[in-house]
A and B are shown apart, each in its own frame.
Chain A
Amino acid sequence: MIKRLICLAVFLIGYVSAFAQDVEMADTMRSSGKIYVVVGTIAIVFIGLVIYLFTIDRRLTRLEKYKD
């Protein structure tokens, strides 16, 4: 289920960006020096790391319950 949703999301993003390439519209990610793209990238990296940390935290909690 999750895999299918991810596939769908990837296709949708690809579809939208394929059309966005033709005509340059005034969307925010492209405006003034494109700093928003950098912000987005770093935010994605950070969110990914945070999710990773939370997963480790949850796994540990489970292990600790199992031990006691």
Chain B
Amino acid sequence: MKFIYQAWWKILAVLLVGYTIIAGFLLPVPALPILHETIRNVYFHVPMWMAMFLVFGVSVFYSIRYLGSGKEEHDLIAIECVNTGVVFYILGLVSGMLWARYAWGEYWSNDPKQNSAAIAFLLYCAYLVLRNAIDEEQKRARISAIYNIFAFPIMIVLLFILPRMTDSLHPGNGGNPAFGKYDMTNEMRAVLYPAFIGWMLIALWIATLRYRIRLIENKNNSL
């Protein structure tokens, strides 16, 4: 856990995202009907979800560890990762809505992908409500850890499996080809993959900051 105090990976995150901000606007993209330049949204909308996955994944990892170890710190990591993940979830959802307004015609067209994203969002809101509803600390930690372990696979199913089994406007779903198959050029990949890593590290950074604040608060409260 020493690395959360180190700077190198934070600088790496800044460099990667900084590169994608510049290259994402200036490198050529394929000319597609309807999408036009909005295809560049891929560099900023999709990494929000990747960042969210990473922190939610870390959260589940520490929820499982908490059940084994009973260490309070593991529970604190889990909750602060979810708190950070929810922020990136909202950013992904709202940026997706804006994009949908101009690519699909409506902010919200009750598309399977959008609807299940909304349901999965409520799933994580319920996690936060559940935590606040239990006063006793160890009970809260244990119950919310178990909830978190169940919520994560359900979120994966809602976001990735169910929309893909029906027709959806979102790329990669139903009979709709993913960007990766036909539209993604190598130039786009050269921006997209660094963007994934960069934003994932930024999300991790924010989560570690929140965790460190939480540790101090916790220490103060227990005194």
Chain A residues with CB under 8 Å of chain B are 35, 38-39, 42-43, 46-47, 50, 53-54, 56-57, 60-61, 63-64, 67
Chain B residues with CB under 8 Å of chain A are 5, 7, 10, 14, 17-18, 21-22, 25-26, 205-206, 209, 212-213, 216, 219
* A43-B209 in contact (CB<8A): no
* B216-A46 in contact (CB<8A): no
* B18-A46 in contact (CB<8A): yes
Min CB distance, B73 to chain A, in Å?
14
Min CB distance, A49 to chain B, in Å?
9
* A57-B21 in contact (CB<8A): no
Q: Cβ of B212: which chain A residues have Cβ within 8 Å of it?
A: 60, 64
Q: Cβ of B14: which chain A residues have Cβ within 8 Å of it?
A: 50
Min CB distance, A38 to chain B, in Å?
7
* B21-A53 in contact (CB<8A): no
* B209-A56 in contact (CB<8A): yes
Q: Which residue of B lies closest to A63 (CB)?
A: B216
Min CB distance, B137 to chain A, in Å?
21
* B213-A60 in contact (CB<8A): yes
Question: CB within 8 A of A54: which of B5, B10, B17?
Answer: B10
Dominant secondary structure of chain B at its interface with chain A: helix
Dominant secondary structure of chain A at its interface with chain B: helix
A38 to B140, CA, bound (A): 46
User: What are 23 contact pairs spanning A and B, CB under 8 A?
Assistant: A35-B26, A39-B21, A39-B22, A39-B26, A42-B25, A43-B18, A43-B21, A46-B18, A50-B14, A53-B206, A53-B209, A56-B209, A57-B7, A57-B10, A57-B205, A60-B209, A60-B213, A60-B216, A61-B5, A63-B216, A64-B212, A64-B216, A67-B216
* B219-A67 in contact (CB<8A): yes
Q: Cβ of A35: which chain B residues have Cβ within 8 Å of it?
A: 25-26
Across chains A and B, which 5 residue pairs bring their CB atoms closest together, nearest first? A39-B25, A60-B212, A50-B14, A42-B21, A43-B21
A38 to B26, CA, bound (A): 11
Q: Cβ of A50: which chain B residues have Cβ within 8 Å of it?
A: 14
Known: A39-B22, A60-B209. 4 other contacts (CB 8 A): A38-B25, A43-B21, A57-B7, A57-B10
A46 to B195, CA, bound (A): 14
Q: Cβ of B206: which chain A residues have Cβ within 8 Å of it?
A: 53
A54 to B209, CA, bound (A): 10
Q: Cβ of B25: which chain A residues have Cβ within 8 Å of it?
A: 35, 38-39, 42
Q: Which residue of A lies closest to B14 (CB)?
A: A50
Q: Cβ of A56: which chain B residues have Cβ within 8 Å of it?
A: 209
Q: Cβ of A67: which chain B residues have Cβ within 8 Å of it?
A: 216, 219
Min CB distance, B174 to chain A, in Å?
33
